[in-house]
Chain A
Amino acid sequence: MSGSGTGTAGGPYIVELSGVDKIYAGGVAALSRAGMSIRYGELVGIIGPSGSGKSTMLNMIGTLDRPTDGTVRIAGHDIAELSDRELSALRAGVIGFVFQHFHLAAGVPSIDNVADGLLYSGVALGERRRRAAETLRRVGLGHRLDHRPHELSGGERQRVAIARAVVGDPLLLLADEPTGNLDSSSGAGVMELLLELHRGGTTVLIITHDRDIAAGLPRRVEMLDGRVVEDSRVGRVSAC
């Protein structure tokens, strides 16, 4: 079940977290001494009940937020050393996001929603559209280029969102509860698409609370109360 890029011992890590704390205003500790690392090309699931710190973990890995303490390295960059502008550039070039609520622009055709995935990489409009059409065909929506979100099913919308995340060929794809808003058959289709992208070489990180979905993933990281409690690659993690 392991993909093409995983399992190369000693290979470089695309995600490295060590001793990460995140304490929100008001003293709520969303992460405490969390640590994990992900190699290029891995397919990893982060699982845990709601409130366990999964989403905060995703925000850290996606460089949308900075840790209160500890080190986060993404694709070799220590994000503490990067400015907000440089983090934006890192997201534009390296990271793709898929959200539970899709976040598609209403009234905008699929092709333009996907093309926006390249907007902040400085690609010209014609080239953005060309690559968006190509990516939509890749996710099986070649016949839905000019459809607007309200004309698509939930599964199709999530496919559009995935196309937008991968149109710029990111090294790292982060999916936050990608099937959370879908019925089981649409959800299975979306999962199949993510696995397919992983087989193509992309590092894929899926956050889910659905244990059935997690069971199909080669590596699972379990979280509870802001800590990584079990990692199927390294075994049980003792709290430090």
Chain B
Amino acid sequence: MLTTTPNTARPNPGGLPGRPSPARLRPRDVIRVGGAGLRARPLRVFLSALGIAIGIAAMIGVVGISASSQEKLNRQLAALGTNLLTVSPGQTFFGEDSHLPAEAEGMIGQIAPVTSVTATGATGARVYRNDHIGEGQTGGISVLAARLDLPAEVGATVVSGTWLNGATQGLPAVVLGGKAADRLGVVAAGPDQRVWLGGQWFTVVGVLAPVPLAPELDASALVGWPVAEGRLDFDGYPTTVYTRAEEEHVVAVRDVLAATANPENPNEVEVSRPSDALAAKQATDATLNALLLGLGGVALIVGGVGVANTMVISVLERRAEIGLRRSLGATRGQIRSQFLVESLLLSLIGGVGGVLLGIGVTAAYATSQGWPSIVPVWAMAGGVVATLAIGGAAGFYPAVRAARMSPTEALAAP
């Protein structure tokens, strides 16, 4: 059964032979040898990689959720426009409430880049669910006189009923903001839906959806300008002027608005850009994000320690294998790179798993919030690069120890 191949003409090293030189391992073999140690212990690989994956997933999730929320805001701003400016009366030098001149709207409309102007005016009237409610229980709802073009200017839409029109603006008809409708117990607009407003019954003709650029409208009851002046003793002074300017001139318009609205007392005018307020609200989340990123970083470091621990144990357990490989002709460098590659692969598995997990978390959260899902490419690439750095750092010392091991001692290990 035994067949032998006769060894023909062995090279006869009669003279001094050339110095032996080790062969280089092909990259494919380096990966194969490095991966062999992982294939032999799948459970340990899974658990070590899981530590890294959780850290990376936490960081990707934080970045992804914050990017998704930013993207949602950007889309919202793009839809609403960032060229809306509001003008409202501030206070006089003496601390008294000021009011805008009645001509403020007209004068603002004269500014060249201004494309449209509209306004609301506070009437001072109160609104109640019915005529039995006590005087003080206003629910914080203000009654405003509104121009007919208000919804178009601020991007408001009705969820029920209709907006005021030329006919209803002179009648006891009211459109409620979303919060105001809730507080007054109004579910939907209708001819039988009435509220007690300024000592008389007003019919609710419409209910607004929340208005992101003009959140003050949410807790308001809006009536027509003529009916406010006719029935509610409205003085006719606008309290908030909403104006849109050409996008590239918004800043310039903003600078002249105060002086235009109230030339006599420009210091008594407050000008703001609602889209800036929305963006600023977003920025306040940055601190929380930094905290969460820090936590993700800690998880990542703990994961790295787990990988280092796994590698140290792996080297100790595989002394016999190291000795065998040395006897088969592996150089110290080849042993070192075997364990370094093993550590890198282990971390890489964790890193890729973590990126996928982070994408999943982002997608799930963003979908639940109705946001678009965005995970920046730099975050994914950064996550993978970070795991490689961790794998290199964690595997370096064990790999050097494996390479320094004397072949005879390694072979003597059981």
Contacts and interface: CB of A to CB of B under 8 A. Distances in A.
Nearest to B318: A105
B328 A85 contact: no
Interface in A11-31: 12
Given A64-B326, A121-B329, A192-B2, A82 B19 contact: yes
A201 interface: yes
A40 B14 CA distance: 11
Given A89-B22, A196-B2, A200-B5, A120 B330 contact: yes
Contacts of B414: 101
Given A64-B327, A89-B21, A40 B2 contact: no
Interface in A171-224: 171, 192-193, 196-197, 199-202
Contacts of A120: 22-23, 25, 325, 328-331, 334
Interface stretch (A43-51, A90-98, A226-234): A90-98
Contact of B4 (A77, A93, A196): A196
Contact of B10 (A138, A164, A201): A201
A91 B328 contact: yes
Contacts of B407: 64-65
A107 B36 CA distance: 10
Contacts of A89: 20-23, 329, 331
A151 interface: no
A85 B408 contact: no
Say which size band chain A's interface belongs to.
35 or more
Interface in A96-140: 97, 99, 101, 103, 105-108, 116-117, 119-122, 124-125, 137-140
Interface stretch (B26-34, B192-200, B342-350): B26-34
B1 A140 contact: yes
Interface string A62-95: 1011000000000111000010111111111111
A107 B40 contact: yes
Contact of B22 (A85, A97, A99, A200): A85
B7 interface: yes
A124 B411 CA distance: 27
Contacts of B16: 76
A51 B20 CA distance: 33
Of B3, B17, B22, B321, chain A has the most CB atoms within 10 Å of the CB of B22
Contacts of B406: 65
A84 B414 CA distance: 24
Contact of B332 (A76, A84, A199): A84
A165 to B, nearest CB: 9
Given A75-B13, A75-B17, A76-B13, A138 B5 contact: yes
Contact of A122 (B24, B36, B325): B24
B341 to A, nearest CB: 14
A200 B40 CA distance: 36
B12 interface: yes
Contacts of A201: 6-8, 10
Given A12-B13, A89-B21, A117 B331 contact: no
B302 interface: no
Given A76-B16, A124-B26, A65 B10 contact: no
B47 interface: no
Contacts of A65: 406-408
B189 to A, nearest CB: 74
B211 interface: no
Contact of B329 (A76, A92, A124): A92
Q: In this complex, which of B324, B330, B333, B334 has the most chain A Cβ atoms within 10 angstroms of its Cβ?
A: B324
A111 B353 CA distance: 32
A59 interface: yes
B12 A40 contact: yes
A105 B331 contact: no
B158 interface: no
B198 to A, nearest CB: 86
Given A59-B408, A105-B321, A119-B29, A92 B6 contact: no
A169 interface: yes
A71 to B, nearest CB: 14
A90 B18 CA distance: 11
A135 to B, nearest CB: 9
Contacts of B328: 91-92, 97, 116-117, 119-120, 164
Contacts of A140: 1-2
Contacts of B331: 84-85, 88-89, 120
Nearest to B12: A12
Contacts of A138: 2-5
B324 A76 contact: no
Contacts of A125: 28-29, 32
Interface string B358-379: 0000000000000000000000
Contacts of A199: 4
A192 B334 CA distance: 35
A125 B19 CA distance: 26
B400 interface: no
Interface string A150-170: 000000000000001000010
Given A64-B327, A122-B26, A138-B2, 17 more contacts: A65-B408, A77-B20, A84-B331, A88-B326, A88-B329, A91-B327, A92-B330, A94-B20, A105-B36, A105-B40, A106-B40, A119-B330, A138-B3, A140-B1, A164-B328, A196-B4, A197-B4
20 contacts: A64-B326, A65-B407, A85-B21, A85-B22, A88-B329, A89-B23, A95-B327, A99-B411, A103-B324, A105-B321, A119-B328, A120-B328, A120-B334, A122-B26, A124-B26, A140-B1, A164-B328, A171-B10, A199-B4, A200-B6
Interface of B: 1-8, 10, 12-17, 19-26, 28-29, 32-33, 36, 39-40, 320-321, 323-334, 406-408, 411, 414
